Structure 1
Amino acid sequence: MMINDNILPPKLILLDAVGTLFGVRESVGDIYSKIAQKWGVNVCPKTLNQAFYKSFSAATPMAFPGADMAEIPQLELAWWRDIAAESFKAVGVFQEFSDFPKFFDHLYQEFATAEPWVVYPDVIPTLTKWRNCGIELGVLSNFDSRLYPVLEVLDLGGFFSTVTISTEVGAAKPDPKIFAVALEKYDFQPGEVLHIGDSLTADYEGAKSAGIAGVLVERDTPSTPDKASYSTLAEIEFNCDR
């Protein structure tokens, strides 16, 4: 499917990371549960997964306006540790950890490796095609600074000229500020840029509020048929011959 065969391809595509380029290999609950088991804490992965997403959804945006850059790694860790603690408290096993901060340090570092993640099969072929088409590529994500090593170990880093993350900007999608900061790294106008992500609010509507075209990639069942929505990146095609 071609977005519009009557227009040139965008000069720049900004892509979300988790849920767009790569996802969790199992579920968050599975990974949390497996590592907790090594600490002698047994918990149902499905129940823990539900608790995690409830805690994650209730959390404040992962952005730290005014924070010194040197403080950001510890602020990121504390943000995630609070979500994890609330998740384990919700399923009634938090008190079983002999040293929760130490356990969480282990858990946190796990997600900086390739082990929990899987690159969607359409991603590398599509990014290669877009790059060969002359399109500049960047990452725009509400993830934390672990994204840099994760992109490298997943063999994705070489595709992107820039990476913009909410914790370093001090604003998270859908805030227009993070889109503006990403654009400042290039000499392109908003109308020459496309943002692709998996969140209707953060990605599609966020891009629109920043004056950028947005496209949704809903890898499960599409829930927004009235929007520019696709199930894979491979479905998003451009006429590079024009």
Structure 2
Amino acid sequence: MTTIKGVLFDFSKTLLRIEPAESWLRAALAASGTDLAEAEIAPRAAALERAGALPGGASPAEIPAALADLWEIRDRDARHHREVYTGLARQVPLPGPELYDALYDRHMTAAAWQPYPDAAEVLAELHRRGIRIGVLSNIGWDLRPVLRAHGLDRYLDACVLSYEHGIQKPDPQLFAVACRELGLDPSAVLMVGDDRTADGGATALGCSFLPVDPLPVDRRPDGLRPVLDLVG
């Protein structure tokens, strides 16, 4: 068995998790100066969640036909990503048109994301052991400032984002880019992620794969620790 010399982590639901839909909506209301009756906030947030409008949150219960094609390639282009998610949000009536972009903008802020409790500790220990570390994410915006704000970027040797390459997981080409940025053969790289299809696609290139459960942060205190047992 090849010794693991590098680890690639997915971003959303692996290292960090997006805030609940209600706090997301409240933050966007505040940022846009839009009023919504208190009694309406929870129901509208739930409707937005069902619509799949919160990136990093639940998938849409139903994708509108007009957005179906874009949904499949949303992580290959920043413009597509915004168009899809604001389009999903517009399925839910809200008090002002400016709110749909405010919601999208909110999800790109560091305050909207919470690291899993063991994320920093695991990354720091891998770094101490001399393991090469990268983030590999299907995403439509630059998450580096979020990682920086939470103190995680200091441990990273690479950050590969799908929209910057026009390729999204599970395409082996994106894993190949990430392995090259780590300077390692795929056989020496472990991919860690919550999506067995997208992240598990790394095995087609010869990487190892460790799945993690996409639970809320307070219900997964040590889901990343098994990485340390797999890496010398």
Superposition TM-score tier, normalisation by shorter sequence: 0.7 to 0.9
Equivalent position SS for 1:140 = strand
Match of 2:138 among 119, 139, 142: 142
Q: Could you tell me whether the CA contact under 8 Å between 2:138 and 2:162 is conserved in 1?
A: yes
Instruction: State the percentage of identical aligned residues.
Output: 26
Matching residue of 1:234: 225
Q: 1:54 to 1:123 in 2, by over 3 A?
A: closer
- How far has the Cα of 1:157 moved from its partner? 1.1
Matching residue of 2:5: 11
Q: Which runs of 5+ in 1 are unaligned?
A: 1-6, 65-71, 222-229
User: Which residue identity does 2:162 align to in structure 1?
Assistant: S
Asked whether 1:83 is paired with 2:88, we answer yes
Q: 1:208 to 1:14 in 2, by over 3 A?
A: same
Q: 1:171 to 1:10 in 2, by over 3 A?
A: same
Q: Which runs of 5+ in 2 are unaligned?
A: 53-57, 64-70
- How far has the Cα of 1:9 moved from its partner? 4.6
Asked whether 1:209 is paired with 2:221, we answer no
Asked whether 1:178 is paired with 2:174, we answer yes
- How far has the Cα of 1:47 moved from its partner? 3.5
Match of 1:35 among 17, 28, 42: 28
Q: Deviations over 1:153-195 (max 9, x none)?
A: 1111111111111111111111112111212223311111110
Match of 1:62 among 49, 74, 79: 74
TM-score by length of 2: 0.78
Q: Aligned partners of 1:54, 1:33: CA distance in 2, in Å?
A: 21
Q: Aligned partners of 1:185, 1:83: CA distance in 2, in Å?
A: 34
Q: Could you tell me whether the CA contact under 8 Å between 1:32 and 1:107 is conserved in 2?
A: yes
Q: Aligned partners of 2:112, 2:210: CA distance in 1, in Å?
A: 26
Q: Aligned partners of 1:82, 1:191: CA distance in 2, in Å?
A: 40
Matching residue of 2:116: 120
Q: Could you tell me whether the CA contact under 8 Å between 1:30 and 1:46 is conserved in 2?
A: no
Equivalent position SS for 2:210 = strand
Asked whether 1:109 is paired with 2:114, we answer no
- How far has the Cα of 1:73 moved from its partner? 4.3
Q: Aligned partners of 1:31, 1:51: CA distance in 2, in Å?
A: 14
User: Which residue identity does 1:24 align to in structure 2?
Assistant: I
- How far has the Cα of 1:11 moved from its partner? 1.1
Q: 1:207 to 1:150 in 2, by over 3 A?
A: same
Q: Could you tell me whether the CA contact under 8 Å between 1:217 and 1:231 is conserved in 2?
A: no
User: Which residue identity does 1:237 align to in structure 2?
Assistant: L
Q: 1:84 to 1:177 in 2, by over 3 A?
A: farther
User: Which residue identity does 1:32 align to in structure 2?
Assistant: L
Q: Could you tell me whether the CA contact under 8 Å between 1:13 and 1:137 is conserved in 2?
A: yes
- How far has the Cα of 1:198 moved from its partner? 0.6
Count the aligned residue pairs. Answer: 209
Equivalent position SS for 2:72 = coil
Q: Could you tell me whether the CA contact under 8 Å between 2:50 and 2:61 is conserved in 1?
A: no
Q: Aligned partners of 1:46, 1:235: CA distance in 2, in Å?
A: 34
